[in-house]
Amino acid sequence: MTQFFRHLLSTDFMPHSVCLRLPGLIALHAVSDSLIALAYFLIPVSIIQIVHRRRDLVFPWIFLLFGLFILSCGTTHLLSVWTLWHPVYRLDALVKAVTAISSLLTAVLLIRLSPRVITLPSAADLRTTNDRLQAEIVGHRQAEQEVRELNAHLKRSVAERDAAIASLNSYLQRQGAALLHSERDVQFIMDLLPALVAYIDKNGYYRRVNRVYQDWFGRPPQDIQGRHISELLGSEYVDRIQPYLASVLSCKAVSFDAEVRYPAGTRTVNITYTPDCDSDGVVRGLAALTTDITDRKLAERQLQRHADLLDQAMEPLLVWELGGSIEYWNRAAEELYGYSASEAVGRISHELLQTSHSLTLREFEAVLEREGQWAGELIHSTRGGRQIVVESHHRLVVEPNGRKLILESNRDVTERKQNESALRRLNETLESRVQERTRQLTEANQELEAFSYSVSHDLRAPLRSVDGFGRMLLRDYPGRVLDQRGIHYIERMSAATVRMGQLIEDLLNLSQISRTLLRREHINLSLIAGEVVAELSSSHQRPIGRVMIQEHVQAFADPRLMRILLENLLGNAWKFTGKASAPEIEFGCSLSGKESVYFVRDTGVGFDMAHVDQLFAPFHRLHSAQEFEGTGIGLAIVQRIAHRHGGRVWGEGKLGSGATFFFTLGSTDNGDQ
């Protein structure tokens, strides 16, 4: 093996050219292998450029490996040319071995990769996407009109050129070889063409030109024929086109764009060189077709400038064909929706953005066709799934060929809509707070009125009693020992002070309920009611009668305030059933829609519904203190507790048939029977 590499470049063999002998055959081998090697070397360069520029390729390594394989193949052909005269067969064999290894490795990996490659988009899909990416961008009205006019002009020019070329080709095919030998007919056809047409020999001299040369160079065709192309176009131009001329001399047609300085000025032209080769592949000359594309290039630059301007717009802009897919998607749209232009172009706009609208897509397009434009708010979804509200403007644009495009611009107003919604909710909350504060002020005023009434009436009565009996003691028993009547005076004075103390305590309890912090929790009202009934039964000598408590009555409320509420309602029920022949008290809950309604029902003395409005006023009593003891503050406390929970309380009754008091605990109540 060491000896093999030591003689790797040795030429101790006979070159291939000795075996081939024929110079033409040797040249054919050399030229063919050289061209194949050139093509093989150019392909990896293109592959590397593709991989370098397309960072998003799914399998870049297979491209690079395939490029290595093609490069190896090109090297083998290059060595085939070299070994025609230099028999370095060891190097040739080594290169072929490397080529074989890279070929086998590429084949194996390609076989393993083929199932995944099959799932990739087809070439037709990629071509379609690529074509759509290069679609013309609809700009401002004036720019659109200019572009359409330029495009129409270019189309006419191209159509004229294509028609002329088609006419020439048709004519040439019909006339055949006889037409080629008829200089008059050839010149006639060449003069018909609007482009520069010339026949140039292999040395670069004009042999025939058409009349358009006279328009461009200001010289008659006879003055141009026989001159070298460098005399008309300059040596600098000839140096620039040498690679193309070399390809033509290899019997390969070429076409390229170039800027050429003519007497009338510099023009951008498309040049096509078609070689004239004999049956042996020897080039006799070439046909040169030069077409002025200055206007087309100007239009393309204008289109690109318009596209760049649209791409710099602050608002998302997209163009889609009516009844079709997206054709343009600017940078602002990429930033707002999260889809790149390559991902969006070719998709249906309403499907990609999951547009929410009161109209269907077909109805929406019908409105655009009828009205020509539309403006309003739409709901779109971004790539991340976030819904946004956009202020959208659509305009219908009809191209000269009848194709209908929609220019759509969107502005994200999600934050503004959220702020408006928050402001609306704030206003509603403020209104609710104002109503609540008004209700609280009303209740406070009512309490003040009740307090004023209590001070002026209920609290004065015990004070008058104390004052009256005190004066009677001073008058009837000056310096005397009290007898039974005097003691009665003292007892009446004591009872009055006790009553006044009870009134003051009830007032304090009522005011504390308004100031106490509400602490809601899940509680069992049935257990609390049972405890209250047990306390009533143990603290009074009279039997309480039949008590029915519904099981598992749940509520979400302040447990301490609920105990006070039930103590007052159940205490009243116990008090007012004291004279009933068959006293009964019931506590339970029922559903009214989605609201839990709690109740305490008794078979006591009841009340007249005509006075129901006075039930919950502080210190207002429907029965005298001689009939039933109390201060008249209990139901006011019940009402205050219900209001603190956002609920309400009401009563129903009939004289002699008992009463039922109902209460709710607001929207957060989740009581369960």
* 292 lies in the same domain as 376: no
* 326 lies in the same domain as 278: no
* 292 lies in the same domain as 374: no
What is the structure's pLDDT at 452?
Answer: 52
Query: Which band of pLDDT confidence, cut at 50, 70 and 90, is reported for residue 418?
Result: confident
Q: Amino acid identity, residue 95?
A: V
* 278 lies in the same domain as 335: no
* 237 lies in the same domain as 373: no
Domain contains 65: yes
Domain contains 405: yes
Q: Which position has the higher pLDDT, 464 or 42?
A: 42
Q: Which DSSP string do the residues of 14-53 spell out, in sequence order?
A: --HHHHH--HHHHHHHHHHHHHHHHHHHHHHHHHHHHHHH
Query: Which band of pLDDT confidence, cut at 50, 70 and 90, is reported for residue 631?
Result: low
Query: Does residue 627 have a pLDDT over 70?
Result: no
Domain contains 485: no
What is the structure's pLDDT at 123?
Answer: 63
What is the structure's pLDDT at 446?
Answer: 62
* 256 lies in the same domain as 405: no
Closest CA to 116 of 52, 62, 47, 46: 62
Please calculate the CA angle 337-339-341 and round it to the nearest 5 degrees. Answer: 120
What is the structure's pLDDT at 673?
Answer: 35
Least confident residue range of 31-45, 387-401, 530-544, 623-637: 623-637
Least confident residue range of 59-63, 216-220, 265-269, 598-602: 59-63
Domain contains 42: yes
Domain contains 291: yes
Closest CA to 5 of 76, 71, 91, 128: 91
Query: Does residue 524 have a pLDDT over 80?
Result: yes
Domain contains 626: yes
Domain contains 475: no
* 81 lies in the same domain as 175: no
The winner for highest mean pLDDT among 361-370, 470-479, 621-630 is 361-370
C-alpha span between 571 and 634 (Å, rounded): 9
Domain boundary among 64, 95, 120: 120
> pLDDT of 93-131, one tens digit each?
787 788 788 778 877 777 776 776 677 666 676 677 667
* 531 lies in the same domain as 591: yes
The winner for highest mean pLDDT among 204-213, 480-489, 496-505, 664-673 is 204-213
Helices and strands, number each (H, E), in the chain: 25, 17
What is the structure's pLDDT at 671?
Answer: 44
Count of domains forming the chain: 4
What is the structure's pLDDT at 107?
Answer: 77
Helix/strand/coil for 340: coil
Domain contains 217: yes
C-alpha span between 127 and 133 (Å, rounded): 10
* 223 lies in the same domain as 331: no
> pLDDT of 151-193, one tens digit each?
777 778 777 877 877 777 777 666 655 545 566 766 777 777 7
Residue numbers of the domain that contains 588: 516-673
C-alpha span between 212 and 664 (Å, rounded): 101
Q: Does an H or E element contain 496, and which?
A: helix 484-515
* 197 lies in the same domain as 292: yes
Query: Which band of pLDDT confidence, cut at 50, 70 and 90, is reported for residue 513?
Result: low
- Percentage above 90 pLDDT, the chain: 8
C-alpha span between 240 and 63 (Å, rounded): 32
Domain boundary among 239, 265, 299: 299
> pLDDT of 129-144, one tens digit each?
667 766 655 555 666 7
> What is the CATH classification number for the domain harbouring 550?
3.30.565.10
> pLDDT of 279-321, one tens digit each?
888 888 988 888 888 877 776 677 667 666 666 667 888 888 8
* 109 lies in the same domain as 220: no
* 283 lies in the same domain as 323: no
pTM for the full predicted model: 0.34
> What is the CATH classification number for the domain harbouring 319?
3.30.450.20
